[in-house]
């Protein structure tokens, strides 16, 4: 009995020692151990964004840049443009097939998010590109393959085949607050990797007409052409967003830039790696933000929600009994207060699985069971939700 107890105590001692070694040298392993499995191997941080201050509360931008910059890459694209004469059958008869004209070049940025070589960038950076070259911060260059794109969020996933890759840690965008300091890292105007600083100016920006699904982080960190697809990081160097657009009258930074939250980017990444595309729900309605005037016109006492001005015949919503004039106030228990929220909530529904929609009519409140179909962006063109 004494011998068994001795063996047991020695085993426990060894396991505890191993745990402390791992917790000291690889804390990300310990933090990620209790999380659900992800399709793509990524490193995630659970430290809140408001815990980013350095000594005396002053953010340490130097450390953040040192941690994040190696994982931010430059993306060079080229697109061959056929010459006008080459498409003329008489030109081809006399001169034969001609070579294509010099390729148009494009510049952008991207972020390595997985040791397997997956890179997040913007769809508009690689859209219609014939060749894509990724340039790492350490000088290595390699061709990249497009794994999949999602134009409705303006995200794309690339893959490179290189070893010993620097990988950025994904942050918790839910912990971001207005006023938090952030850094934008990318390759503006092709001058080389550049780091700029600013703060989070606003959260949840939507209805900008940039993407179909909008939930932008707004920042005043300088973002310029070429920064698209680059990283927006907190002062620990963890990824908070993918820089995607600017508001500008001059073409350069005017202190209003927008980034796609990491939470959105990660869900798109997983979907594309798993299925090659992002599958979203669709119910076939024409929504409009409810205003007091519309509520009065339709004889509604409700002053919040999304009013349905049109229902697609034989669509999922029509089959469930929805009619023009209905006001959707919640989807599967999630409150919706505007069109953007309704679009995002419906898109998150799994096609083929019934969902409960709470609506308000002149006769009172009702609950409809709607079975969403698969959203087809090519057919919808942003019209029916």
Query: Three-class SS of residue 319?
Result: helix
Tell me if residue 172 is catalytic.
Answer: no
Query: Quick one: which of 49, 43, 55 has its CA closest to 111?
Result: 43
Phi then psi for residue 85, to 5 deg, are: -65, -30
* Euclidean distance between CA atoms 31 and 336, whole angstroms: 33
Buried b (16+ CB within 10 A) or exposed e, 165-183: bbbbbbbbbebbeeebbbb
* Euclidean distance between CA atoms 47 and 207, whole angstroms: 30
Tell me if residue 228 is catalytic.
Answer: yes
DSSP 8-state secondary structure symbol assigned to residue 40: S
Q: Are 95 and 84 in contact (CB under 8 A)?
A: no
Q: Which of 150, 154, 180, 326 is catalytic?
A: 154
Query: Quick one: which of 293, 266, 363 has its CA closest to 41?
Result: 266
Output the six-digit token pair for 169: 């840690």
Q: Which of 74, 114, 201, 228 is catalytic?
A: 228
Query: Quick one: which of 32, 335, 347 has its CA closest to 213?
Result: 347
* Euclidean distance between CA atoms 57 and 334, whole angstroms: 37
* Euclidean distance between CA atoms 223 and 226, whole angstroms: 8
Tell me how long the chain is: 385
Q: Which of 45, 74, 114, 124 is catalytic?
A: 124
- Supply the residues annotated as catalytic: 124, 154, 228
């Amino acid at each position: 009995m004494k011998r068994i107890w001795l063996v047991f105590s020695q085993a426990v001692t060894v396991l505890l020692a191993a745990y402390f070694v791992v917790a000291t040298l690889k804390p990300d392993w310990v933090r990620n151990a209790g999380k659900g499995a992800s399709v793509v191997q990524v490193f995630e941080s659970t430290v809140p964004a408001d815990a980013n201050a350095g000594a005396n509360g002053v953010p340490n931008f130097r450390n953040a840049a040192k941690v994040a910059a190696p994982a931010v890459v430059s993306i060079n694209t080229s697109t061959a443009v056929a010459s006008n004469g080459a498409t003329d059958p008489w030109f081809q008869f006399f001169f034969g097939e001609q070579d294509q004209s010099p390729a148009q070049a494009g510049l952008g940025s991207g972020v390595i998010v997985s040791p397997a070589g997956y890179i997040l960038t913007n769809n508009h950076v690689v859209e219609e590109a014939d060749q894509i070259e990724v340039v790492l911060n350490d000088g290595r260059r390699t061709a990249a393959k497009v794994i999949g794109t999602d134009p409705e969020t303006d995200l794309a996933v690339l893959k490179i085949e290189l070893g010993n890759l620097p990988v950025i840690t994904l942050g918790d965008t839910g912990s971001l607050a207005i006023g938090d300091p952030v850094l934008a890292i990318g390759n503006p105007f092709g001058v080389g990797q550049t780091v700029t600083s600013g703060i989070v100016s606003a959260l949840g920006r939507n209805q900008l007409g940039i993407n179909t699904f909008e939930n932008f982080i707004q920042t005043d960190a300088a973002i310029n052409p070429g920064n698209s697809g680059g990283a927006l990081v907190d002062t620990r160097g963890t990824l908070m967003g993918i820089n995607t657009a600017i508001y500008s009258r001059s073409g350069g930074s005017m202190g209003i830039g927008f980034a796609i939250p990491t939470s959105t980017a990660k869900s798109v990444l997983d979907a594309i790696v798993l299925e090659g595309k992002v599958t979203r729900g669709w119910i076939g309605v024409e929504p409009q933000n409810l205003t007091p005037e519309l509520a009065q016109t339709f004889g509604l006492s409700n002053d919040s929600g999304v009013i349905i001005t049109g229902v697609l015949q034989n669509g999922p919503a029509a089959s469930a009994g929805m009619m023009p004039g209905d006001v959707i106030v919640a989807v599967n228990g999630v409150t919706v207060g505007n069109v953007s929220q309704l679009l995002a909530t419906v898109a998150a529904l799994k096609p083929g699985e019934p969902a409960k929609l709470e609506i308000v009519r002149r006769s009172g409140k009702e609950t409809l069971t709607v079975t969403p179909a698969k959203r087809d962006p090519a057919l919808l063109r942003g019209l029916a939700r």
